[in-house]
Every structure is written in C-alpha cells, then in structure tokens.
Amino acid sequence: MRSMWTRRTALAAGIALLGVVGSGCSRGPSPDDPPVPQLPSDWKIVSDQIVDRHKVYEIESRLEGRVKTARATLCQAGEHKIQVNTVVATESSEADKMYRILANRKPAYAYARKGDVLFEFVASVDAQEQVKRGREAIAP
C-alpha cells in the first residue's frame, strides 16, 4: 500500500517539475508578438525576449489594463543600459487606460504609444538623454 502511495507521489512530483521546467522554454515567433522597437542606430540590442504569460499578468496588474502580449528589449546605449518594454493592449480602450497610468507615473520622455502598442523605457536617471533619443526614434 505504501509503495503505491510513494509511486503516485513521485509521479505527481515529476509532472509538477516538468510543468515548471517547461514554462521557461522559449517558443517560436507568433503573429501576435509585439514588434521589435525601432531604436537609434547606435544602440545595440543585448537581449530581446517575448514576455512569459505569467509576467504579462504582473504587467496587467501594474498598468491596470489587459495585455495581449509584451516584449522586453535590453539595449546598450553608449555607457547606459536601457530596457524598452513593448506592450500590446487587447484593445484601444485598454491601451488608453495603460497610457494614462504611465503618464501619471513616469516622465513624458520615458513612455510612448503607437496605436494599441505602448513603449516604456526603464533606465537610470543619468541615461535621461539617451532615453529621450530612444523615444524620439520610436514615436517622433
């Protein structure tokens, strides 16, 4: 009897572990993926990832809107590292809500919008001029 319980527990633990390991696997490109942001030509992309669905829930909570998908692009701009978060809203009214949240929390140069796609710049204070250049490249 105890042997059967041990096998079931081991099987359940194995399935749970596969779920955790599998959740970090990358997937192929999807037509719903947000576009790679158009950045200044002298910026180098260090990493570019589609955001995992679990992290999308965190973004929805932080920006108080519904998100279809998101991308995180880490760039090297001179001596500064700048992350550009690209967020695609589920619809225009959701983009409106999230844009207002960004407008209330960030300086005007640190976010932009093109249709239902929002861009948020995350960088140290001393990277302000670089962030302004990045924003200008995305939304002139």
Is residue 27 scored above 80 in pLDDT?
no
**Order of strands, sheet of 44-50, starting from the edge strand that comes earlier in the sequence:** 44-50, 67-77, 80-89, 117-122, 111-114
Band of residue 28 on the pLDDT scale cut at 50, 70, 90: low
For 45-95, the pLDDT digits (tens) are 999 999 999 999 999 999 999 999 999 999 999 999 999 999 999 999 999
Distance of CA 70 to the CA centre of its chain: 4
Is residue 113 scored above 70 in pLDDT?
yes
pTM (two decimals):
0.77
Do the Cβ atoms of 48 and 1 come closer than 8 Å? no
Do the Cβ atoms of 123 and 130 come closer than 8 Å? yes
Q: Phi and psi of 25, rounded to 5°?
A: -70, 145
Is residue 8 scored above 90 in pLDDT?
no
Q: Is 64 exposed, middle or buried (0-12, 13-18, 19+ CB in 10 A)?
A: exposed
Do the Cβ atoms of 78 and 128 come closer than 8 Å? no
Do the Cβ atoms of 97 and 64 come closer than 8 Å? yes
Confidence at residue 116, expressed as pLDDT on a 0 to 100 scale: 94
Distance CA 71, CA 6 (A): 42
Question: 130: which residues sit within 8 A by CB, 6+ positions away?
Answer: 77, 78, 80, 82, 123
